[in-house]
């Protein structure tokens, strides 16, 4: 049994990973400033797993708080989710993104080094590949980012590579997630976007729930089989399991390695809409609009390194993710703000 610091533990992916860690018998300390989440998520994590965790409210940039945390717990490793993640917002507020995502990670790595805790699993993103030349995308594809959010992920990866090269006591996996969707099958935790969702899946869920009239499909003139954008959608429960495997990997290996987490399958916008309708019986009204600036046509993972290095592969398809995501949405129409909680 290990003790892990999970930053951003109340967030969408962090909460699902906390469930997986607790269910595997590990101890979890979550550090979250709740800037994009609710402490209620952590109550539900504990209810699902049937085990307690330690929830600390605070910021990863707070060096004094980190020093106290590392002094108070014998951590075996850190899984670092805490970050800002909206691409458009990062273009408008680059300083906030560099401060939070790069500055926050530097402060965390410094505290870890001082405490002698050098096992690190990082939340990176397929966004570091920009518009890929070749599909499926392997980890050898060039890193070329197209917005400040993506740049923060690429910069942190560079820091991690340099750190592991300088000191072979560091052991780091940078997980490059493709498109996480869905929710825990209990319907108790899931994605809870503030405001109008930027991403496709939560938007579809809100159309199904009657919160939005129709989905705007950003272009049907892409060079793809049905003209709509193609992505590699992976179930968040599969993604959470990948973190458990990555933590097991950093316990046994030194160095820094980037690993794609995706299914290896491309699904178009319209295919995802149809899968959602088939899995839930809910019709999704949509209309085609112009392309969204900055979008790419197609993007899916070569997930073979994840299988070879971590022994991980995605188990669930998009139908299952749609059914689970809809259960969360239906029971919590206003996310964690829903009055009376789940039904």
- Residue 179 within binding range of ligand WQD, rule CB under 6 A: yes
Question: Near ligand NAD by CB under 6 A, which window of 8-16, 285-293, 317-325, 329-337?
Answer: 8-16
Helix (H) or strand (E) holding 125: strand 119-125
- State the binding partner of 59 from ligand NAD, ligand WQD, none, CB within 5 to 8 A by kind: ligand NAD
- Interaction residues for ligand WQD, span 184-223 (CB under 6 A): 198-200, 203, 215-218
Instruction: Write the CB contacts of 18 (distance below 8 Å, at least 6 apart in sequence).
Output: 6, 9, 28, 30, 42, 45, 49, 53
Residue nearest to ligand NAD (CB): 11
CA distance 234 to 60: 27
Q: How far is the CB of 239 from ligand WQD (least distance, A)?
A: 12
Question: Near ligand NAD by CB under 6 A, which window of 56-64, 165-173, 296-304, 309-317?
Answer: 56-64
Composition of the chain by helix, strand, coil, percent to 5: 40, 20, 40
Cα Rg for the chain, rounded, in angstroms?
19
Report the sign of the C-alpha dihedral through residues 81, 83, 89, 94, in that order: negative
- Residue 69 within binding range of ligand NAD, rule CB under 6 A: no
98 in catalytic set: no
204 to 243: interface string for ligand NAD, x by CB under 6 A: ----------------------------------------
- Residue 282 within binding range of ligand NAD, rule CB under 6 A: no
- Residue 8 within binding range of ligand NAD, rule CB under 6 A: yes
- Residue 33 within binding range of ligand NAD, rule CB under 6 A: yes
Contact between 323 and 235 (Cβ < 8 Å): no
Q: How far is the CB of 100 from ligand NAD (least distance, A)?
A: 5
CA distance 198 to 204: 11
166 to 205: interface string for ligand NAD, x by CB under 6 A: -----------x--x-------------------------
**Mapping DSSP to helix (H, G, I), strand (E, B) and coil, where does residue 31 land?**
strand
Q: How far is the CB of 130 from ligand NAD (least distance, A)?
A: 14
Cβ-based neighbour number of residue 162 at 10 Å: 12
CA distance 39 to 239: 21
CA distance 129 to 106: 23
Instruction: Write the CB contacts of 20 (distance below 8 Å, at least 6 apart in sequence).
Output: 237, 240, 241, 243, 244
Contact between 310 and 189 (Cβ < 8 Å): no
Q: Which of 12, 97, 149, 177 is an active site residue?
A: 149
Closest listed residue to residue 132, CA positions, set 142, 118, 147, 140: 142
- State the binding partner of 5 from ligand WQD, ligand NAD, none, CB within 5 to 8 A by kind: none
Residue closer to ligand WQD, measured from CB, 226 or 334: 226
Q: Which two tokens stand for residue 124?
A: 């990176």
- Interaction residues for ligand WQD, span 257-296 (CB under 6 A): 269, 292, 295
- Residue 36 within binding range of ligand WQD, rule CB under 6 A: no
Q: Which two tokens stand for residue 67?
A: 């020093």
Residue closer to ligand WQD, measured from CB, 229 or 303: 229
- Residue 35 within binding range of ligand NAD, rule CB under 6 A: yes
Using CB under 6 A as the criterion, which residues of the chain lie in contact with ligand NAD when the complex forms?
7-8, 10-14, 31-37, 59-61, 81-83, 85, 100, 104, 123, 125, 177, 180
Using CB under 6 A as the criterion, which residues of the chain lie in contact with ligand WQD when the complex forms?
85, 87, 125, 127, 179, 198-200, 203, 215-218, 229, 231, 269, 292, 295
């Amino acid at each position: 049994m290990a003790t892990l610091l999970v930053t951003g533990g109340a967030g969408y992916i962090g909460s699902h990973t906390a469930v997986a860690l607790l269910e595997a018998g590990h101890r979890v300390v979550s550090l979250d400033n709740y800037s994009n989440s609710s402490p209620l998520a952590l109550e539900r994590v504990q209810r699902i797993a049937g085990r307690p965790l330690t929830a600390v409210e605070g910021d990863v940039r707070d060096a004094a708080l980190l020093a106290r945390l590392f002094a108070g717990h014998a951590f075996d490793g850190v899984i670092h989710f805490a970050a800002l993640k909206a691409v458009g917002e990062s273009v408008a507020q680059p300083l906030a993104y560099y401060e939070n995502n790069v500055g926050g990670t530097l402060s965390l790595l410094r505290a870890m080094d001082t405490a002698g805790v050098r096992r690190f699993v990082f939340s990176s993103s397929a966004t570091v590949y920009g518009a890929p030349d070749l599909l499926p995308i392997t980890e050898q594809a060039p890193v070329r980012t197209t917005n400040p959010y993506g740049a923060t992920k690429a910069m942190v990866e560079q820091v991690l590579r340099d750190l592991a090269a300088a000191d072979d006591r560091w052991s780091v996996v940078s997980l490059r997630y493709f498109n996480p969707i869905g929710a825990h099958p209990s319907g108790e935790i899931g994605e809870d976007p503030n405001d109008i969702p930027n991403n496709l899946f939560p938007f579809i869920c809100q159309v199904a729930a009657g919160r939005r009239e129709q989905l705007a499909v950003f272009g049907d003139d892409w060079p793809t089989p049905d003209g709509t954008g193609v992505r590699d959608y992976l179930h968040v429960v599969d993604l959470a399991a990948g973190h458990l495997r990555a933590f097991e990997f950093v316990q046994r290996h030194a160095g820094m390695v980037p690993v794609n987490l995706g299914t290896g399958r491309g699904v178009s916008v319209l295919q995802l809409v149809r899968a959602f309708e088939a899995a839930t019986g809910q019709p999704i009204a949509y209309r085609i609009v112009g392309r969204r600036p900055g979008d790419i046509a197609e993007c899916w993972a070569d997930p073979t390194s994840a299988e070879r290095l971590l022994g991980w592969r995605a188990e669930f398809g998009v139908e299952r993710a749609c059914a689970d995501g809809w259960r969360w949405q239906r029971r919590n129409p206003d996310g964690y703000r829903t009055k009376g909680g789940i039904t």
